[in-house]
Amino acid sequence: MRLTVVGCSGSAPGPASPASCYLVEHEEFALLLDLGNGAFGALQGVLDPGMVDAVYLSHLHADHCLDVAPFIVWHRYSGRSDGRTVPLYAPVGADRRLATAYDPDGGSIDDVFGVTAIGAGRWTIGPLAVTTVRTQHPVECYAVRLEAGGRSLVYTGDTGPSADVVELARGADVLLAEAAHPDVPGLPDGLHLTGRQAGEHAAAAGVGRLLVTHVPAWVDADAQLAAARAVFPASELARHAGVYDI
């Protein structure tokens, strides 16, 4: 498996990166994990959009799904789409949410996407074995474990501290974990992880490597990394345009 970070800025696009979008490739199959605002521009520097085989949206917050709108524009008007629909996996309500993001009148996006509503469970996307669990977040959100060729990647999506996410990540080669919250008092529960909590999840799950991601532009990324490393040394910051062999 190969992971390319298309966007890693937390909660909103930042000056150095779009919002959440990760390209996972295995045996010529290309899966996008999230398509947050700003990501479609950067995606075109990495992969022809017509080569995207499937899209997985962890949840329907803007920083994880809004660039489905330019993806639709590209498919409808670039003249470069081969006309096949793209499987899209997302929490229930995605079809309406994404259609409205594209056009105020809504309408159908069935000409571009084959939408499947997801829950917690197991299935396959192309050559990838998929397992999902519900995370701790104000809206329905699913962390995902991808396995292929004996390797495994777990992406938290957005979550507060979660024993289910730890179990999902058990023994994974790479944990791509959000760390949006700075370590300050008074932040709400059930929303995001701090850097230290991301490290604690990696340590508890016994993963091989932690990639810290989803750090907002207004949060000190180096401090988030240092906090993660203090409890899990094999931690690094996910970098925009970074490529990671898993």
By CB under 5 A, name the binding residues for Zn ion: 61, 63, 158
What token pair was written down for 103? 């056009």
* Residue (39 or 112) nearer to Zn ion, CB: 39
Evaluate whether 196 touches 207 at the Cβ level (below 8 Å). no
Least distance CB 63 / Zn ion (angstroms): 4
Least distance CB 70 / Zn ion (angstroms): 19
Least distance CB 11 / Zn ion (angstroms): 5
Residues 6+ apart with CB under 8 A from 115: 88, 90, 94, 95, 98, 109
**3-class secondary-structure state, position 83:** coil
Least distance CB 19 / Zn ion (angstroms): 7
What token pair was written down for 114? 């084959």
Evaluate whether 175 touches 201 at the Cβ level (below 8 Å). yes
Distance CA 32, CA 159 (A): 19
* Residue (26 or 201) nearer to Zn ion, CB: 201
Least distance CB 66 / Zn ion (angstroms): 11
* Residue (61 or 145) nearer to Zn ion, CB: 61
* Residue (152 or 156) nearer to Zn ion, CB: 156
* Residue (127 or 161) nearer to Zn ion, CB: 161
Evaluate whether 145 touches 169 at the Cβ level (below 8 Å). yes
* Residue (112 or 175) nearer to Zn ion, CB: 175
Least distance CB 138 / Zn ion (angstroms): 7
Q: DSSP characters for 84-150? A: PPEEEEEETTHHHHHHHHH-TT----TTTEEEEEE-SEEEEETTEEEEEEE-BSSS--EEEEEEETT
Least distance CB 85 / Zn ion (angstroms): 26
- Calculate ∠ Cα 222-176-53, nearest 5°: 130
**Which uninterrupted H or E stretch holds 237?**
strand 235-237
* Residue (117 or 129) nearer to Zn ion, CB: 117
